Structure 1
């Protein structure tokens, strides 16, 4: 394989971001023909297709690796520019990370406040089960995930355990679970689910009943509103111990025991930048809250 030309790699990254050769040309201030030539030369260099000629245009496996290279190159270039200029007047470097909603709502955001004094941080919210797709595609440089095995070109660090408790209001429990959270009642009682990717409630149902249940569901895709829906009596749901520790008095557990533990990991590009390393260190330090017993759970 020949050496990868950064200009050709950036042409591919621009196509993936913009969705077309025309959008990439506009972003790069060149003609669509020039973009097409760069892609052809890139495919000759790697000896295989880097993009599917379909609608929408999608990168191949080789193309994904090259997109990540282009974006890592940008991070390293920004590091070099900062070092050479040694000035605070230039534009701040941008770092994009993926964070699950519960972590963002509880412990991640405060950790990034000091880092935000010198960087631009873009946070993409995605469920921890799906966040690696954004890392794999090159859309983000790091992600909080429930997957331990590192992605190609990435490092993986254990953060700790996010514990979730099935809770509801006292009135809801009296109405639906007067005799306990039995399989029969769990099949009937309304449940609050974050979105259609959220499997936490179903994990609890499977572990509790050893059956596949399909109770009535309300989808509330926002962290605060999710808890508000439970507090308003719309249904029961799983809330993290960290959130319950803030104000637990109006929520009660469905029944003794039954928590769902989710192990979280921080994956980031191995060849990132000083800025990415700074963000990663801030997140890993803040995750100490996941490695000690929470208090205030009902």
Structure 2
């Protein structure tokens, strides 16, 4: 493909872990960040940001989107071209919905297109995983759908996880943040064999539950012993929102990524009731959430000229 001088890239939000799938499974959601890259004659990068929380995004060379853009050119052994970057935010920052993953994927994809697409999809994905440090957010953000990632002698094996059309993901996004660093700090350095076996079994059940839509399997599968018991103490009102979601018909509720966004899985018939119950429960705790009933995005990052 020939190099172009302008490209727009849309990248979906993601929800990672899904309970027992700590650091290895994630799904793309129908919530997006949009990035436009235009080469220009100025010597420095220029960045504009619009959308909620736009004032909090760095607009110099420390911007993560631009860092990813530069990373691809460094990989190619080339100097990055001067570029104008326009960012339109649709994914909340620091809420456990993969905002950083959208920046990493968006920057790499944008750079690859402007350079004439010298790298394959797998090469771009390897760079994204290396930048993020783990695959659970960047992989679905890049290729869409629900994905399980595992290391192999050759690098990474990415497995598509079928997501039954009747399963509805509902996100409750609070009006406070939780840094990934803090969420990782509270995790134990070692786990027992019993807890490891527990999560292995429940991850297997989760994969089958997502594929079949069986509510009884999902109710059991969403349990976890590796991260949620420790992280939920950092999220005010967690138990109240969980109880309300389940009472309204959710199969279960988990922490989205590192949190504090909470993710409930339910069926279509109960989705509205679950969303209302989660919002009401958190409001009773003094938290003002934005609750969204979403779908799984099956396209991932896409570019437009």
TM-score tier, shorter chain, comes to: under 0.3
From the two aligned structures, give the one with the greater strand fraction: 2
From the two aligned structures, give the one with the greater helix fraction: 1
Of structures 1 and 2, the larger Rg is shown by 1
TM-score by length of 1: 0.25
